[in-house]
Structures are given as structure tokens and as C-alpha cells.
Chains A and B, each alone.
Chain A
Amino acid sequence: MRNVVMHRWLLMLLLGSSLPLSVRAVELVRDGRPLAEIVVAADADPSVKTAGCELQKYLKKMSGAELPIVVQPGVATPIYVGACEHTRKLGITLDDVRNDGFKIVVGDRHVALLGRDQCRSAIPRDNTRFGQGASVLKNWQKLAGKPWDYPYIIRDPRNFSPELGFHVQDANGTLYAVYEFLEQLGMRWFMPVEEIGLVIPEKRDIKLTPMVLKREPFLACRLLLLVGFGKNIPEFLWHKYLRQGGVFDPFPSHSSELITECQHDRPELFGFAGGKPIETGRRRYDHGPRHLPRLSSPQLREELAEYLIKFHDAFPEVPYLPIGQPDGWVVMDDRDVAAGWDKKEEGHRGRFADYKWDFVLNVVNRVSQQRPGLKFCASSYGCAKNPPKLIATIPAEIAVNLSQNSTLPEFGDDLARRKEWLAKAPHSDIFIYDYYLSHYPRRSLVPVPAIFTAQMEKNFRTLPERCRTIYAELSWSTTRQHGLVVGFPGINHLMIYLHAKFTWDRNLDVQATLADYFEKFYGPASKEMREFFEYAEAVWMRPEVREITATGGFLKPADVPKYFEILDRAKARAGDGIYGKRVQFIADEIAPLKKLFSELKRTGPYVRLFPRDVSPQVDGDLAKPFWTGQLAAEKMWLRDCATGVYPDINTTSAAFRWLPDSSLLVGIVCHERRMNRLRASTPASAKDDHAIYSDDNVELHLETPAGYRAVVVVNPNGAVRDTCVTPNVADVPEAWSAERVAVRKLSDRWTVEIKIKGLGEMPTKSYPWGVNVFRQRQAGGEEEAYALSPTGTGSFINAPTKMGNLYGRAK
């Protein structure tokens, strides 16, 4: 390992009776009796005191010997934990240690475990400098002198442990040194479930040969973004065992929103579309509509510059000032669009890049005029994920925060983009924001192991030297099973463990690390468990969509018995002891997969599709004879998307017809009391514009037995966005774009006709198509969502199993 420096003649760590007689050894434990004491200074940092306790705890578990913890060395061999006057007298310093690295020094009469410990005292560790709860905002606004939202993501108080006295994101070099020392003795902590996650070797004797080991993390900040660690000490310490933390707070927030969140009465700060402010959700404090900050607004730019200066004055130790675009930003202000800032030709990931970076540079200039020499950070994210075209080089004082998803097969796109960014920002610091949310609750992913060791290796290997930090948003638990924050620890721990190792050493020997893992964690079942995880990686890396449906997705029905067949073999090998329990833990976690495919049948209603022998003109008129005079059963009424209640006002109906040219015609009627308040900022001429999602709209979702999935969104102007969410878009017939869409607006309703051609045979009851129709109503001033088949989530997406079944014939 390149960043480990060891003295040639002191390299070997010898244990027990294997010590060669010619090398002098330090004995810590002999035959289960303590021969050493742990020295921790009385005024040591809480994390250093924790390090002393952890050392005592695990040495006792290994050997049975309880080494006393003292504040001054006595007669026994001292193990100094943390830098103190004694280590200084011994000439052991941390002057040559970078970031929150550490040293392990074994002399002939002492052991020293010490590292760089930075708890950043300027920000209280429990993050209560501005009080707690509602007072945080009040106190921040008092300090700022402006009605701005507070910089809430500096550090999350939920990750502070009152019992331990430090924050999970602190830099705790001494604690890392202790864990490294224990790891050298054979201990491993692979999984945050204490009873089975730890590997503790038995050692009646512990002897060490003199050595010096220095380790420094490759990345200055290594953060696993989860909240709630503060409540679970073992899980908190597992996180520290993984040596996660960092020497600064990177704070890559959506800072433009901090200016506008509490200033909704200032239209000059907001973007407008169709004469109305663009909404992006609900505000945090009063739940009113949240309006989109307009990044070209001079007032917004000026206030953000002021904000950043105030922020810097309040938190000078935060090295990068964030200049952030709003979250979930897909619509641009009409005036900015007219000025040519919306560059659709750059694609979804690049259309706002020039606009956003014009904003970033402007704010940087404003701040730098008043406070020269400061550093900033800005993200590659959303519609500004690609580098800007109008700027030749990103100035060195701006760190670029690259968002990516290294867990998915499409990661190649992110890697190519990273390359472009490194060229565009040749002197900037680089941050990585990685989405590891494979089992994130809203993504509805079933408990399939998400294994991507090869891709992880590629990710880290290609990080530049100037990369300073990596955040990984992890899966979290919704059930609090085992009292953990980390979701699905059985199937996720390996990737977290490996990730943590990489954050210290981007050239990690993956094969050796995995071999160590399989051997120590599964003992006699190591071969089978390696097979299990390798198979899981092959499945996960299939280039198909993550959502698993009856007909699509990366996981196939045959994979499930295969998983369990391997695990059964592993269990047979492992027996009933600790190894068997670990295998069983994983088997229990993925047990829901056994019922997955049988339960994947769509749960929505059966929807009748009526064949007709004429094809009408598609003009949006649902009062023409083609549609009228039919039975009531030919029409389906939409219900509230979450509660399933049928509304009795502003109702919506949908009807389905099969035409002689093998096309599907869908007629949708949206009754509307407030036609004059319809929100429809996207013009009919706009094709595939994301802005349509902010309008009143209807969405038609279809899924064929072949697995093709199409979505057509229409607004009252007749603007259309039709997309395909089929795994391989190249395989999709052209017919997936709607052939014709027409809309009519009447005094009390708006009506839509959507014709889709070339889908193949009419669906049957045996092989129905998945179908859902949604209506988003904005005209009432409060968001309303209706569905033909309610999803139970209030959301229109990612609910393939909630679809209805569209059929025209019985067989």
C-alpha cells in the first residue's frame, strides 16, 4: 500500500510464540494476564478516551486480559493512546501526518497509538451554537440580519453522540490508530451488527516487535451520508472503525434556496413561467408553495454573495463556500429562455450548464471583491451536470462537486463526464457525491444484493490526486431492524466496507481484501459465499432497469432460486456456529425475494379496451359520436392517488379504444371548475420539455408484455412529453412516441386524445398491458394527484405493480 510507510527493519508484527528469539518483543498479554496498561491523558479529547476504552474492550475479548486505563504510566508497559507529553518525550510527533492520518509506534518498552484528532471546536460538536429546533432559524437570522434560511447541512446534530461526546463526521486519527492496531491483531468489524458482525481472534498471548506504521487517508473527507448514528453507539463506532470522517465540512448545499426559502414575497428573486412563479415543492416552514430561485436575478446574486460572507464570518473553518443551484430544477424562467439560456441542444444534462456557471462566476466575483482569497464549491448536478461550454476554464478557487452513481451499469457516462470536468477545471479541487441509494425506500428496490466491486475499483482508481472528498448517500433502514440506520446490513455491508477501504487507499488490492473478508467472515463457507457475491455482482451489473416488474428489470426469476441454492450450500458448509449465523442473516434479509415474482402481478383493476371498426379524427373532441353513447362501463374514473377516494368535483375519466390500424386511442376528460386558473406554462410547440411536470397535466403509462414501458405526458396547451423507460431504448419501436395527441379546452373541462400506433396485437386478458392514467391538478392552488390505479404513494412513478391491466379480448 503506497501510503503506508514502514521502517524496513521494523516491519514485521509478530504474535505469540511465533516471535523469533533474536527480535526483542513487547509483551502486552501473557497467558490471559495483562502486562501492559493503557495510558490516556486526563484532558484527552472524548474521541481519544473512547479509543482507550475500545482498545481495552477488544483486547479483553481477544485475550481475556483487562488492561487498566490510567492517566500516567506506572510499572507496566504503557500503551499511549493519543498524543500526549509522554509521546512527545519519546520523539513521536504527528508533524509529518496528513489529514486525519495516524501512527502506530511499537518501541521496545512502549506502544503509541496516536493520530490527528480534529473536532473543529469553532462549531460545537453537537451543533447547538445557534440553539436547537425552531430557535436555530431565529438565531441565524438575527446574526445574518436578513430573513435567510440557516445553513442547515453544515453538520447534522443527529449524528452527534452525547454519550461519546463527538460527532460521527469528526476527524479521529487516534481512534483510527486503535482500530488499525486491532485489525493488525486480526480483528475485523465487517457488519454493524455486533453479535455477528465482528471477527475477534482468540489470543492468550499478545507480543509485538518494534515497528512504526504511518497511515494517511487518500481523501481528506470520507462521509457516509446517513442520519441517526448518534443514537446507536455500536453503529457509530462501526462507522469510525471504517475510518470515516474528515478534517473539514464540505457543505455542498443548494445555497440559492437558502436565500429564497423565507422570502416568498419578493418576486424579483424568482423564476416565472407563463406569468406565474415556478413551483418546486413545498416550503419547509409554512408548507406554502416553494418558488424557484432565478439564478440570473441580480438581487439573488447579490444576496447570495452577502450570505456567503456572513457564513464565512460565522464559520471561518469551513473552507469552501457553496454556490448551489436549486434542488430538482428542471424549468427555467421565461425571460431567461427568451435570452437563449436554455440550451436544449446540449441535452438534459447540459442544457442549463452555461446559465448556472454564469451565476456561479458572478457570485464568486462579488464575494472575492470583498473577501479575496476565499474558496468556493459548486456542483455538477441535474440539468447542469455537464461542464459549461461558454467558460474555457473553471477558476482554481472553485472546487467542483461531481455527482455520480457508481453503483449502476451506466456509470461509464459519469466517468466520461468526469474526464471532461477534469479538463475543464484543471486546477480545482474535486469532490465526489455518489448515490449509493440502491435500497432507498422511495426507489422501491427489493432486497437484492447490489454488488459492484469492479466498478468501485474503476471509480477510485480514476480519481485524481486533487480529489479531496467523497460523500456516499447510503441505503437506510425504514424498519429500524436491529436498531440500525444502515439499511439491509447483510447485503450492503461488504460494499460499505470496501468503499471505506478505498477512501484511504485508492490503489487498494481488492482481491486480497475480498479474500481476507471471505476467509475471516465465512470460514469454511468462504468459497460458497464468494460464489454468492460474485453471482450477485453479475446480476446487479446487467444493463437493465432497476425496477423489477413481471416482465422487466435486471433480476430474472431464475436468479432467486440460484441465490438460495448457493446460500444453502454455504449454510451446510458453515454449520450452526457463527459462520452459519452470518450466512443465515443474509438469507433472512433476502427472503422476501422468494415471493417476489409471484407477487409481481399488477394489483390495479382490469381495464376494458373496446375495439372499434372506424378510426376517428384525433382532434381532442370527446363529444363526437365515436366516444358518446357508449356504456358507462367503458369509462374509468380516476381516484386520489394516495387515498383511493373518488373525488366528486373536478373529476377525471379515461376511456380506451382499439382502432382498425392496430393503434390504441385513449380519451381523457378532465372536469375543471377553474379553467381560468389552469397552469400550462409549457407551450404546445415544446417537445419533451421537463417543464410540463410543473403544469396541470395528464400522464398515460403503458407496459407491454414484452417489457416496453412508455409514458406520455400532456398539458392543457397540447404540449407533449413522451418518453420510454424500456431497458434498451435502441430496441424500442418508433411507435413508442405518441402518433398524435390533441387537446381541447371547454368552459368546464379539458379533454385529451392520445393515439399510439404500432404496439402489436391487441392485449388480452391472459397477456394484458400494464396501464395507468394520472392527472396532476394545479388549478386549485394545492397539488392534487389522481390515478386510474392509485399508487398509495401520491407519486406517479416507479409503481409498475400498481398498474391496471388493459385488455381487449379474453384470450
Chain B
Amino acid sequence: MNAMNERRVWFWRACCATLSLLCACAAVMADFTDEFQSALKLFGESKHAEASVQFAALAVRAPTAGSKSVSLRYAVLSAISAKQLAKAEELLAQIPRESTKKLCRMNLLLAQRQPQELVKCFKDENLTEWSDVHVYDALMARGQAFRSLRQFAEALKDFAKAEEFATTPNKQTHVLNLAGSVLIESGEDGRALTVYRRMKGISSLKGYGIINDAIISAARILAKQGKYKEALREMDGITPAISGYWHARPFIVRAEIHAAQGRKAEAIENYNKALQSAPDDLRGSIQAALEKLR
């Protein structure tokens, strides 16, 4: 073990010991629910190393097999996000509930870039028979593994099933977005267009980045097919923000469509509009595009 790893292990153990002690005291003073929520807050704030330690400590005093499994699931996910894959493996082994353990195994295999192993282990599983709370995530994980292996038909089957279990607009958009990407990768632009248009129809998320991206993807498919007018009409679905990225980006895409159509003036006009509010990381590419047009 190199020095860096030793330090990490030492840090991890020290954190565990301290937090176990704190949690033991907290067991008397604080409530499991409150502690879990505060760990969840760390997770939401992307403080993954801390969150993982806190969830692992919570698992020790979790009152039920279910809450222990959930605590450890979050501990594993946090460890994965903190790139502590060995730790994630160790935590995973402690999960009492089988379906939770399997789902975490899937997440870990994806993080370890082992999609073939994931598919090998889980391709014959009927994931819809798993605990309802895990079905969506499990289908998404396996679908992504299939996608990495370029087994697009299998990936799309999983994503389609996942959509049935997507109980929130966020989950639904997420799965449709992935399905759209897979369809494009597999050359099925027509079906991808349908998927992106369905995303556009999810009204509760109108204005969110992921929906705007879907509209842009749809417009690009249309432009690729030479349907420039339709592509521009598609872009009308984006309500531009007052400033910043989502103010500039629709103008850039419009400019690209005009440029592809050979309408330089309109393209330049849109690029210039984009420049008025574009954040620094977009400005360079806009300038380059303008140079090219001139």
C-alpha cells in the first residue's frame, strides 16, 4: 500500500471511529431519522466522503434491516462518488437485504467500468420482480451497461421498462434522455426524435436544462435531415433565459442551423446575440464560428 492510500485508510478509520463515537452519543440524544436526514444533506451537497462515513455509522445503529440496507446503500453510493471503490466494496458486503445489495453491486460495477461483468451477472434477472424501490435504478444500471457494450436493443428494452417504473418527472426525463442518446448512437434518428419530443411534453420540467437539451437534440436531428424550418420551429420550444448559458445556447444552435442552411447573415446575427450574454467558456467557440463565417 502506498503512502497516499495509507493516509486515506487512516483518515477513513479516524473518521469512522469519531463518527461511531458521535453516533453512539447521538443514539441517546438524537433520533435516527434526524441523523439520516443530515447525512442525506451531506450527500445532496456532494460531500461524498463525509456522507459515506456518516451513513456507514448510521447503519451500525439502524433499527431495521430495511433502514440498515438503505443507510449502507447511500454509504456505497457516496463512496463511489468519492472514488473510494475499495471502501464501497467493503460496505456493500454488509448490506442485509439482497435486492439492495445487488443494486449496489451494479452501481459499483459501472463505476469500476466493468459493464460486461454487470451484464454477465444480471442479464437473466427479472429486475421488475425486485423490490419496487429498486426496479427503476436496477433497469437503468443494466441499460447503461448494455449501452456501453453497444448492445443497443437490450439497453432500449431496459430503458423502456424503467420508464414504466419512473414515478417522477425527473426519473422519466432521465430515462428518456438516455434512450434518445442510445437511439442516436444506433442510427435510429427517427425514433430518437419521437423520444425527445415526448420529453418536451413533460410540462412540469419546462425550462429545465435536460428538457432544453432534448429540444436541441430534436432540432439537430431535423437539421441533419435537411428540415431546417422544422428545426428552427423546434427551437421555439425553448424559453430563453434572461442571461447566462441558457440565454446564449439557443442562439448558438439557431446560428448553427442557419449556417448549415447557408444563411450566413442570420447565422452571424444569432452568434452575435449569443455573445451578448455567453459565459466565458462559450465565448471562444462563438468567436471561432464567427471568424469562420466571415
Tell me which residues from 761 to 805 in chain A have a Cβ below 8 Å from any Cβ of chain B.
780-785, 790-795, 802
* B96 lies within 8 A of chain A by Cβ: yes
* B5 lies within 8 A of chain A by Cβ: no
Chain A residue contacts of B62, Cβ below 8 A:
642
* A673 lies within 8 A of chain B by Cβ: yes
The minimal Cβ–Cβ distance linking B59 to chain A, given in whole angstroms, is 11
Of the 9-residue stretches B164-172, B192-200, B245-253, B265-273, which lies at the interface with chain A? B164-172
Complex-state Cα separation, A99 to B240, whole angstroms: 91
Interface range on chain A (Cβ under 8 Å from partner) = 20 to 34
* B99 lies within 8 A of chain A by Cβ: yes
Helix, strand, loop or mixed for chain B's interface?
Answer: helix
Who on chain B is nearest to A795 by CB?
B63
* A644 lies within 8 A of chain B by Cβ: yes
Complex-state Cα separation, A785 to B131, whole angstroms: 14
Chain B residue contacts of A793, Cβ below 8 A:
32, 63
CB < 8 Å neighbour of A479 from B28, B96, B97: B28
CB < 8 Å neighbour of B70 from A478, A645, A649, A673: A645
Chain A residue contacts of B171, Cβ below 8 A:
648
Does B66 contact A783, Cβ atoms closer than 8 Å?
yes
Tell me which residues from 209 to 223 in chain B have a Cβ below 8 Å from any Cβ of chain A.
none
Does A674 contact B36, Cβ atoms closer than 8 Å?
no
The minimal Cβ–Cβ distance linking B128 to chain A, given in whole angstroms, is 10
Chain B residue contacts of A780, Cβ below 8 A:
131-133
Does B63 contact A781, Cβ atoms closer than 8 Å?
no
Complex-state Cα separation, A780 to B136, whole angstroms: 14
* B27 lies within 8 A of chain A by Cβ: yes
* A8 lies within 8 A of chain B by Cβ: no
Does A790 contact B63, Cβ atoms closer than 8 Å?
no
The minimal Cβ–Cβ distance linking A338 to chain B, given in whole angstroms, is 32
Does B27 contact A643, Cβ atoms closer than 8 Å?
no
* B2 lies within 8 A of chain A by Cβ: no
The 8 A CB mask of B14-32 against A (1 = contact, 0 = none) is 0000000000100110011
- Given A478-B27, A644-B33, do A649 and B66 touch, yes or no (CB 8 Å)? no
Point out which of A640, A642, A648, A780 has the most chain B C-beta atoms below 10 A from its C-beta. A642
Point out which of B27, B167, B171 has the most chain A C-beta atoms below 10 A from its C-beta. B167
Size of interface on B: residues with Cβ below 8 Å to A: 29
Does A642 contact B32, Cβ atoms closer than 8 Å?
yes
Complex-state Cα separation, A643 to B61, whole angstroms: 12
Does A794 contact B131, Cβ atoms closer than 8 Å?
no
Chain A residue contacts of B131, Cβ below 8 A:
780-782
Complex-state Cα separation, A683 to B33, whole angstroms: 34
* B6 lies within 8 A of chain A by Cβ: no
CB < 8 Å neighbour of A794 from B24, B27, B66, B133: B66
Chain A residue contacts of B136, Cβ below 8 A:
649
Does B167 contact A640, Cβ atoms closer than 8 Å?
no
* A2 lies within 8 A of chain B by Cβ: no
- Given A642-B63, A642-B66, A794-B63, do A782 and B99 touch, yes or no (CB 8 Å)? yes
The minimal Cβ–Cβ distance linking B129 to chain A, given in whole angstroms, is 8
CB < 8 Å neighbour of A792 from B28, B31, B40, B97: B31
The minimal Cβ–Cβ distance linking B10 to chain A, given in whole angstroms, is 26
Tell me which residues from 610 to 657 in chain A have a Cβ below 8 Å from any Cβ of chain B.
640, 642-645, 647-651
* B204 lies within 8 A of chain A by Cβ: no
Chain A residue contacts of B24, Cβ below 8 A:
479
Does B132 contact A643, Cβ atoms closer than 8 Å?
no
- A642-B66, A780-B132 are known; give 11 further A-B pairs, CB within 8 A: A643-B70, A650-B132, A650-B133, A674-B132, A783-B64, A784-B133, A790-B33, A791-B33, A792-B31, A794-B66, A802-B31
Interface residues of B (CB under 8 A from A): 24, 27-28, 31-34, 36-37, 40, 62-67, 70-71, 96-97, 99, 131-133, 136, 165, 167-168, 171
Could you write out 22 A-B pairs with CB less than 8 Å apart?
Answer: A287-B97, A478-B28, A640-B67, A642-B32, A642-B33, A642-B36, A642-B66, A642-B67, A643-B36, A644-B36, A645-B36, A648-B167, A649-B132, A649-B165, A650-B132, A651-B167, A782-B131, A783-B65, A783-B66, A792-B32, A794-B63, A794-B67
7 shortest A-B CB distances, which residue pairs?
Answer: A642-B67, A794-B64, A644-B33, A792-B31, A792-B32, A792-B33, A794-B63
